[in-house]
Amino acid sequence: MEHRFVVLARLPLYGRDLVVLKVEEKLILIGSAKSCVCWMAAALRMGMVGASFGNVRGPSIGNNRKETPMTPDQVTQAIATALSDAGEQILEGTLAAVLPILWLLMLALHLGRPYMLNIVQKFSLRLGADIWWLAYVAIRDFAILVTFALSFMFFFPDVMTGKELPVTGPLAALCLLAILVVKLVRDVDDDAPAFRLTSGLLAFGAVLYLVPTLLGVQADTFGVNPDISQALISHDNQTLALVCTYFALIGAGILGLYAAIHTLRATAPAAAA
């Protein structure tokens, strides 16, 4: 497959030249002059590209069209777009890598509740026991809140179809929102049915997120069948990814409306007083 590359600019930065390299109309490479020269030399040896340097244009293999030099404004816009796209990819990739750790942390904190209660009973001072228990509850609920906030990207259809993410990630995020709503309307630490409900939602959400992550996104590491892995990756199974995303959006809207109505009703007597 043949491509063309164009050296758009050489910018001095901290005593070194920063080369801006355009491949066709889609990819912008930004790096040192040495790294870009090495890339261009290797690509030319393989016959993959034709070159154009500023106003000096070389013939492309199988393609003799001319390249129009870009204006400074176009170069600036290209650099800004490339940096923005790269930052978005780094952010989304980092979130996808951190979320499994947060899910395991939430499971550990939830399952560690009997241990925390056992430690509370060993305190001889009531103040120490209260501080220990409040710290545990705050860390446990804060982990759920942070994980849901970082999972908010699963509610965007373009992100789900454009990135390699767990296909059921939106449903896992919906489970987290349901847990937060249950904690808002019920005292899960004193209400046994509510605690069982949050335990089930947390376990179900962990399965929905961790299984597609291990068997889909990380399939190469575990040697999973390609057909199974592609079915569990949002980019390769866009139909299921969109179904999960829109279902999660509808569920999030219903839960958010219910939470808002409950909060308004709970605060109405206090406001009237």
Contact 18, 1 (CB under 8 A): no
How distant, in Å, are the alpha carbons of 100, 152, 217, 221, 244 from that of 235? Answer: 19, 17, 10, 18, 13
Between helix 169-185 and helix 126-150 the angle, nearest 10°, is 140
39, 118: one domain: no
77 in a domain, yes or no? no
52, 97: one domain: no
254, 162: one domain: yes
117, 29: one domain: no
256, 224: one domain: yes
133, 246: one domain: yes
pLDDT in tens, the chain (273 residues): 444 545 444 444 444 444 555 554 444 444 444 455 554 544 444 444 444 444 334 444 344 445 556 666 776 777 777 777 777 777 777 787 889 999 999 999 999 998 998 988 888 888 888 899 999 999 999 999 999 999 988 999 988 888 888 999 999 999 999 999 999 999 898 888 999 999 999 999 999 999 998 888 877 766 777 888 888 888 888 999 999 999 999 999 999 999 999 999 888 765 444
Q: Give the single-character DSSP code of 69.
A: P
What pLDDT shows up at residue 13? Answer: 41
Kindly list the strands in the beta sheet with 49-53, ordered across the sheet, starting from the edge strand earlier in the chain.
27-32, 16-23, 3-13, 49-53, 56-57
217, 111: one domain: yes
Distance CA 135, CA 115 (A): 14
Please count the structural domains in the chain. 2
Which residue is associated with the tokens 């990380």? 218
Q: Write down which residue in 26, 42, 70 finishes a domain.
A: 70
168 in a domain, yes or no? yes
What pLDDT shows up at residue 70? Answer: 64
39, 96: one domain: no
75 in a domain, yes or no? no
Contact 160, 237 (CB under 8 A): no
Give me the domain span that covers residue 142: 89-272
How distant, in Å, are the alpha carbons of 4, 75, 76, 81 from that of 26? Answer: 11, 14, 15, 11
Distance CA 4, CA 24 (A): 5
